[in-house]
Copies of this chain bind each other. A is one copy, B any other.
């Protein structure tokens, strides 16, 4: 157990992130908790125009952010937005087509890179900050999480022009023109730092860095494109906002979790479904851990889910821990399963 001495609010989520000896209930929130599994979300989404319109309309973004808090009493809200706001703010063409992944005009050369313009990003970010302010006003004592994509993951989308199973285009770019790729990563770090600091300034009490594609890199690439840029990003944020906690989520990087936690300066480590509970428990001496119920098990529900939820709570619930999924909640998830999950987590007795 560690006490990193941050000033902790009484909110269980912030207490857990501060590494305090936990009291009271185990906090819970779910990745993509504001989303398509909620009828009230689908209603707003249908009225909002494009997905980006929803992200950039503060009143609507705040509304969908608040919906799961009202319904389930989660211990944290996360601002409704997308990791591709950063490339979009840099002037890259980004679209979200219904039923497909996002599409971007790919950055393939140093010349493409030179056309990105960091000068006016804050104009666009301003709409997210406004959504954060509006959300915080409606949240009461529940803390709000801001977020961005990690530099490597954002770079994969910018170079591929979308998602990909193996991040091939980004890797080829990095292998063939390391200097240009390094410039791209540096630009994303700079703009993301400004974005996270802005989100904290608008009222976010914690910040999560999503590195969805960290798990396919070799150890040396992981050092160069995950560890170093994330440490740089966290350092800039901590210098500007020493009271804000940062959660890193390097998905699929189990064998590198210890190195990541040691080297990046994060307060909380998001763990994917494959992270063994024994590893997570060992890491509680170092950081707050967050995770890692299989979203497909939440979709299935029933006894199998209840047994696993209890196993996670028994293993991790007496240390600094935030209950979450190992990946985003699936749109098909029954609401009753989420209700049961929250009931179980909030009913867990740490003293038992």
Q: Which of A68-106 contact B (CB under 8 A)?
A: none
7 A–B contacts, CB within 8 A, in A order: A168-B296, A171-B297, A176-B302, A178-B304, A218-B274, A219-B276, A219-B278
Q: A126 an interface residue at 8 Å Cβ cutoff?
A: no
**Bound Cα distance from A326 to B278, whole angstroms:** 26
**Bound Cα distance from A134 to B164, whole angstroms:** 40
Residue of B nearest to A299 (CB): B172
Contact with A217, one of B215, B221, B274, B302 (Cβ below 8 angstroms): B274
Q: A57 an interface residue at 8 Å Cβ cutoff?
A: no
Q: A252 an interface residue at 8 Å Cβ cutoff?
A: yes
Q: Measured between C-beta atoms, what is the minimum distance from A61 to chain B in Å?
A: 27
- Whether B256 lies near A218 (C-beta < 8 A) is no
How many monomers of this protein are in the complex? 2
Q: A279 an interface residue at 8 Å Cβ cutoff?
A: yes
Contact with A253, one of B165, B218, B274, B326 (Cβ below 8 angstroms): B274
Q: A257 an interface residue at 8 Å Cβ cutoff?
A: yes
Given contacts A166-B296, A171-B294, A219-B274, 10 further A-B contacts (CB under 8 A): A175-B302, A176-B302, A215-B252, A216-B273, A218-B294, A218-B326, A219-B276, A222-B276, A255-B255, A255-B276
Query: Inside 8 A of A166's CB, which chain B residues have their CB?
Result: 296, 327
Q: A284 an interface residue at 8 Å Cβ cutoff?
A: no
Q: A254 an interface residue at 8 Å Cβ cutoff?
A: yes
Q: A305 an interface residue at 8 Å Cβ cutoff?
A: yes
Q: A292 an interface residue at 8 Å Cβ cutoff?
A: yes
Q: Measured between C-beta atoms, what is the minimum distance from A302 to chain B in Å?
A: 7
**Bound Cα distance from A38 to B261, whole angstroms:** 43
- Whether A175 lies near B273 (C-beta < 8 A) is no
Residue of B nearest to A307 (CB): B220
